[in-house]
Structure 1
Amino acid sequence: MAAIGAKKRKRIGIIYESFSLERKSGINVYVKAIYNALKEERDFSVKLLRVRSNSDLISDEYCEEELTSYMPDVIHNYSHFLLPTILPAVHSFINNNRLDIVHTQGIQCPSSRDISLIKKDNSKFKFILTQHGFPARHDLATLLGETYLAVVGREILRKADHVIVVNNFMKKLMMPYTGRGKISVIYNGVDTRLFRPLKNQDELRRKWKSKLGILEDKYLLLFVGRLSPEKNIFTLLRMMQLLDRRFKLAIVGDGLMYGPLFTFAKVTKIDDRVVFLGELPHREIVELYSMTTLGVSATLYEGFSLSVAEALACGVPVVCPRVQGVLEIVDDGEDGILIRDSRDYKSFAREVKRLAKNPELRREMGYNGRRKVERNFNFDNMINQTINIYRRVLRA
């Protein structure tokens, strides 16, 4: 029995769609960080509902409730808005836990769509949505996605009590549907205690030498992310064709494009300088960054490029494209180099060679990048700003 006068804890329910090819996605990092922070808050209690694909058999130990949706992974990864209703499970999650706030991870997710159907003007719970990304204008998903935003997404955004986005471009895109006072930009955060420069480089070089074949006179380029079409990794492979044998590209991640990428590297005879490492734990990714000359990305679009921010946190400058989701992280010439066209592999090669030859400039950029992430893109900023949104919505 609660003590007389004790303050009632507000109940937060977080729903997220987690699929087998996105285990280390920015959404997963975000959800885990918010969840762990709420567990330590005296004013809140928190519950999680995870929606997963039938092939994702890995359970999350921190997730109290789980729902399996039986759809192919290819649909999960590119057309979330085609997923069937999960309304009964969402309705039960809200009612059984007597939630004060339910927080979903994007208008394209079935949970957001179904909550918009449940939510009435007199509903007791508040609805918060974080939009982590949106397709660029170059693929089939774009046409479906933009149609969805204009039709179903408009209603979801109208029903939401507050919308969080991860960059200012998305804020401009969605403000016509939300109004100015109901949308906020909160950048994703990096765990700067984990992602940091390491000192024991000789020991780590010995550990990774057999896997990477990195010698003292070699330059290591590192890509971390899903192997999916929008990451545009073929541009990085074409870049490698123009670089000499001192350069090695390590690719960390898994996904649908592994087969075509591996075949391309073999056919073009760069497979001895490109190593596919698959998914790695964050601890080993940090080890790799400590030996990395440059982080590289040729992504076509991003909501917030967490891998770019993590590279900067490790003191590693980056060469990446001038696209939304990167522009608000990297200052051209200060902590990295921005390439105008994501597919311009010649410019990538030119800038990589230029920076590789200038260790002083790389050190300065690495220092600037680390300071920026500590200041602007840390976990505490993301968590505190999100919890402040919860408090504001509950007061309204």
Structure 2
Amino acid sequence: MLSGVLRIDDAERRARLARRHRLAPGERAQDVVEAADSLVCLHATDPATIALSAWARVDGFEPPELERALYAERSLVKHLAMRRTLFVFPRATLSAAQAGASERVAGRERRRLIRDVEQAGLRRDGERWLTEACAQVLELLSDGREATAAELRSGLPALEGSITYGEGKSWGGQAPIGPRVLTVLSAEGRIVRASNEGRWTVSRPRWAATSAWLGEEIAPLSEADGVAQLVARWLRAFGPGTEADLKWWLGSTLTAVRRALADLGAVAVELDGRTGWLLPDDLEPTAPVAPWAALLPPLDPTTMGWTERDWYLGPYKAQLFDTAGNAGPTMWWDGRIVGGWRQTEDGAVVLQPLEDAGTDARRALEREAERLTDWFGGTRVLPRFPSPLSQARG
């Protein structure tokens, strides 16, 4: 035990998770924007995850509420940020996300694309080409127009061309460079995924200039301020956590994390022999929470919120995460993962327990499965990153 340091046990961490992640009854969010804000942001790599994460936290949630927030009110925005991952951010968090995470991603993507087009012989001066290609995209979208990636490629010659990858390999092929230009521009905060041509289960975005879609540019912050704001929001939602948790979640460096912790005056606490961190005004214990059940989707922010996960994941990483570290559907009881779930071909939700959590847990989780089956209404969602367990049958 670390001498003279406040000790935070697993029961306290699970109570915080239940309340702050809006998973326990009586702690639900009022709407999808509040749910996203409670978790800093929602994962959006798998489009269905956004709606299913909201369903788990907002009583009575239906997909039109999400579509209204994203496309009408624009109070939520899809944005490429931490770890080159697509998230849905509350609009008020965009500045911190841009400065604290997206700019880092943008720089890396820009350098990689310039290098790749030069090495492939597509362009002699990759930097000049990319500057011109970006300018053409922004010019085409400057009047408030929206366009799909295909429409942009067909209208802008600078986006033409493909790079061969895995030459001679069974998994090799051709990768068009046009979408990578859009990735750079989106990470730079200059264009945004606007309206969607598909249902809530698919992603077919139309692109727009950020200033046109939001009515303003993303307000600039320094990188240090952006990182500090993100770290503060993460500690409020996920704390206590370790430096390793924060470094992984941010996709940043230990240096940046430690600077932010110092700037925030974060307080060191003990987490089962390791050092964790909390905000200085967040040291009081959390009131106990009655046992609760939840079914969370692949890549849910709670499942993916930490990299040191033993206190809630236990021994089930191999069954519930793929080899790239993507979480599949998970089944929770009282702050721990106790299994997974999948859908049958007719859309029914089937529980896949990995342990016997007791009669109360089984009944509560069966009720959640029935509730989610009714909500799907026959719609079947195929996870983009299925876990080994979710692919199992029987």
What TM-score, normalized by structure 2, do the two folds share?
Answer: 0.28
What TM-score, normalized by structure 1, do the two folds share?
Answer: 0.28
Q: Which has the higher contact order (CA 8 A, sep 6+)?
A: 2
